Structure 1
Amino acid sequence: MRDDVRGWLADGTRLFLSGLDALDDAGFDAPTGLPGWTRRHLVAHVHHNAEALSRLVRWARTGEETRMYADRAQRDAEIERGARLPVPRLRELVRASAAALAADFASLPATAWHNEVVTAQGRTVPATEIPWLRVREVTVHAVDLGTGVGFADLPDDLNLALALDVVRKRSAGGEAAALAGWLTGRVVEPPALRPWL
């Protein structure tokens, strides 16, 4: 794992979990900026994302295909079920799955990091990309928790990596021209982008 990604992962996980620590149980019912999601949904998603990425690590280790999710319906159903759990259980699960994923990363043999896996979006990537997938989740969702953390609180190099990743992903989806016009200052109004979720 690259040193910068290792640091971002550790710091981002701490940032997300400390955001949860700052909330009382009633705060989990508050809405987020993500359509239809409360903080409960967000925490359930981050928990299940760790489990899904652990499946990719297992795939890289064993060569046996273990997809993140069977399909989008499975992912959505897991989040909805998780959002109905008691808050103490959600707190426990998200911490345990984060620790389990960290242990999976630590125990992956050096040779297995170059084995290919398939992301939930259907991209074939080397296992070296799995930690970055988790960095995106914990850092962006630390902001989404709405506990006072913003992107300005993240390191500049991480914000640059996130911005480049988002531009690449959205450009692949046909939004390159709109982004280029706005980012170069040729278009004043920001483009109407498709939902990220």
Structure 2
Amino acid sequence: MSTSLDAAREALRARQGSGARYDAPAAPATELAWVRLGTAYFARLLNALDDNALTAPSRVSGWSRRHVIAHVGYHARALCRLSEWARTGIEHPMYPSIAARDAEITLGATLPARALRSLFNHSEVHLNVEWRDLSDAQWDAPVRTLDGTGITARETVWLRARDIWLSAYNLDAGAVFADFPVGLRARLEDEQS
């Protein structure tokens, strides 16, 4: 890390004060940057849609854009539960079951447009707070995905990066793969091969 970048970070922390939250030094910085950029990208696409446009089909078979937005919001909440698990050591599953996850998305898709937009916004803020509350050691705490796969809290950030960018594409509101960060695209391609 460059000295000028370190100095800029220290200056920012001095301006923001002790009450501000920051990522732990051992946090997965690249993936967090992809998540935050992807969240802004998704938000820009969502904000360009009027409320009536939310009922249009998405690129996911059988899902409207409303379903994609509900999925994005509830996925963030599910990752919050895993982050809490990593932080406290008390098991907090992503979802009780696949059926419960699907029912949550189906119900979420029926929310009024304003509530659906708020779900997206508030869940993203909550997820960032949960991640910023993780210590260096907690990033490596074991948790499990919905299918029972053991991962670390660190890997939840990649799950979110992949999901937020693919959901932006699936929203069918103008996203193109060329807009994805190059490193993220390469990692997605590696997963496909």
> TM-score by structure 2 length?
0.84
Q: State yes or no: 1:94 paired with 2:120.
A: yes
Q: Please give the alpha-carbon distance, in whole angstroms, between the structure 1 residues aligned to 2:28 and 2:187.
A: 13
- Specify which structure has the bigger relative contact order, considering alpha-carbon pairs within 8 angstroms and separated by 6 or more residues: 2
User: 2:127 is matched by which residue type in structure 1?
Assistant: L
**Counterpart in 2 of 1:163?**
189
Identity of aligned residues (%): 40
After superposition, give the CA deviation of every residue in 1:115-169 in whole Å (9 maximum; x if it has no partner): 10001122101111011111111101111111211111112111011122343xx
1:74 counterpart residue number: 100
Alignment CA distance shift 1:166-1:65 (3 Å): farther
Partners of 2:136 and 2:59 in 1: CA distance: 39
Structure 1-normalised TM-score? 0.82
Tell me whether 1:32 sits opposite 2:58 in the alignment.
yes
Q: Which residue of 2 aligns with 1:137?
A: 163
Q: Which amino acid aligns with 1:147?
A: A
Contact kept, 8 Å, 2:81 with 2:92, in 1: the verdict is yes
Residue type of the partner of 1:57? Answer: S
Q: Tell me the SS of whatever aligns to 2:147.
A: coil
Structure 2 spans left out of the alignment, 5+ residues: 1-26
Give the CA deviation at 1:2. Answer: 2.0
TM superposition shift of 1:3: 2.1
Q: How many residues align?
A: 167
Match of 2:74 among 20, 24, 48: 48
Task: Output the CA distance in 2 between the equivalents of 1:60 and 1:103.
Answer: 14
> CA RMSD of the aligned region, Å?
0.9
Runs of 4 or more, structure 1, over 4 Å off, are: none
